[in-house]
Amino acid sequence: MNTPLDRKSTVEDIRMRFDNDVERFSSLETGQVATIDAPLAMTLISEAAAACTKRIQRVLDIGCGAGNNTLRLRQVAGYDFDADLLDLSAPMLERASLRVQETNAGTVSTIHSDFRSAPLSESTYDVILAAAVLHHLRDDDDWLTAFQKLYRLLKPGGSVWITDLVAHEDPSVQKMMWARYGDYLASVGGDEYRDKVFAYIDVEDSPRPVTYQLELLRSVGFRRVDLLHKNSCFAAFGAVKAE
């Protein structure tokens, strides 16, 4: 990840890539094949959200893609809830809305926006899901502002659950984990696939360590913070807002 933050992909660049990748993301099991342990992480954040919430009434799915995480949460919860699906990509939103409405009788709304600028009401959501999206945040102020917004949007007792690409604090550990991730990608699709994924991560993504993000969750007001799973450069974690 050598591209400086000020030369990373723009929001429009990212939107265009995902506009053209709807079919790949429309699978619960294989939609995130470039992500290590994606099905497990998705299940863990869904189970944690259900376990921490007496009754889920309204969910915000940030960077919802084709709707996989909301679908898995509906499976785990076993009942309907209202869902606000937010994404940069209109084709992704269209697919997500159709898929979620097939299995969930709650009200399903779509929000075509960047999360950072989306006009969302505070103290509204029981659960916020953010899967493979926060790594697009850039400098420290961007991360802080986004996490403060996550906190404000939750109802008291609500929770946010994140799965994402993460970096590491120590450069030697980062190098080791990046090599392990490269080996995983090569085992999935060969060296060419590994190089393709690494190329778009370099220009698009700016992940932070999971330690950084857990500390940031606490700094914006969360008191109960949990790490659910970590494998190589991917982690699943979340936090619950006090009632």
Q: What domain range includes position 86?
A: 5-240
Residue-wise pLDDT tens digits, 190-241? 999 999 999 989 988 899 999 999 999 999 999 999 999 999 999 999 999 9
> Residue 25: how many CA atoms within 13 Å on its side-chain side?
24
Question: What are the E-state strand segments in the chain?
Answer: 58-62, 82-87, 108-112, 125-131, 154-165, 224-231, 234-240
Beta strand pairing call for 125-131 and 224-231? unpaired
Which has more confidence, 7 or 130?
130
The mean of the pLDDT values for the chain is 91
Concatenating the DSSP letter of every residue in 77-93 gives H-S--EEEEEES-HHHH
pLDDT of residue 34: 84
We report the CATH number of the domain holding residue 190 as 3.40.50.150
Number of domains in the chain: 1
pTM greater than the 0.85 cutoff: yes
Residue-wise pLDDT tens digits, 112-125? 999 999 999 999 99
Q: Identify the band that residue 30 occupies on the pLDDT scale cut at 50, 70 and 90.
A: very low
pLDDT of residue 29: 54
pLDDT of residue 33: 79
Asked whether residue 180 carries a pLDDT value surpassing 90, the answer given is yes
State mean pLDDT over 40-59: 97
pLDDT of residue 4: 78
Burial class (CB in 10 A: 0-12, 13-18, 19+), 198: middle
